[in-house]
Amino acid sequence: MFKINRDASNWQANLLKSKDGPFKTQMDLYYLYFMTGIGLNLYTNFPNMSSQMSDLTSSYPSAFSASIRYKIAGLFLYRDMLNNNLPIDNKEIIKKQIESKLSKEDGNTFLTPEAVNQMNIYAFNGFEYLKNKYTSAPSNEYIFLTIFYNDVMPHLFKGS
């Protein structure tokens, strides 16, 4: 189950109001929060974190193609290997990581429930980072994307 920070609903309300905008669902923003968290390696599990999250969805929206889902799973796997100081060029170790983190049963996320929980932690911390950096979300989703592109993206995966 994908979960989102309870504070996100109010903070991101302006970003979801346009029917023609780039963000169609909360999951679109969850993805940006996840990218921020994983890209900045913001993996801190606070004692009461789960009580500060609310259920978002049990699967990716249909608009997330299989290709995107595999890329998200691969990105998660890459960060996990870096964080565990595992060589990313050793095929045997990569195979073991794939078997432990990726799910054969979940054809939607391709991730084990534990891996989805870890994604939620990255997304939670990514949202917290953005909320602390920008106390309120810009009133326009295109302005937000421009700010995100110029101000956040250059720092993702640096020093990985």
Q: What is the pLDDT of residues 26-43, one digit of tens each?
A: 888 999 999 999 999 998
**C-alpha count within 13 angstroms, C-beta hemisphere, residue 129:** 25
How far apart, in Å, do the first and last CA atoms of the chain sit?
27
List the chain residues with pLDDT less than 70: 104, 106-109, 159-160
Q: Which of these, 85, 128, 122, 79, lies nearest to 101 by C-alpha position?
A: 79
124 domain-assigned = yes
Phi-psi region of 156 (alpha: psi -120 to 50; beta: other; left: phi over 0): beta
pLDDT for 116 equals 85
CB 25 within 8 A of CB 148: no
The dihedral over CA atoms of 8, 139, 23, 111, expressed in degrees to the nearest 10, equals: -30
pLDDT for 127 equals 95
Range of the domain at 49: 2-17+24-56+63-155
pLDDT for 147 equals 93
How many domains, the chain?
A: 1
150 domain-assigned = yes
Distances (CA, A) of 137 to 10, 34, 86, 104, 147: 9, 17, 37, 38, 10
pLDDT for 155 equals 94
pLDDT for 154 equals 94
160 domain-assigned = no
pLDDT for 107 equals 65
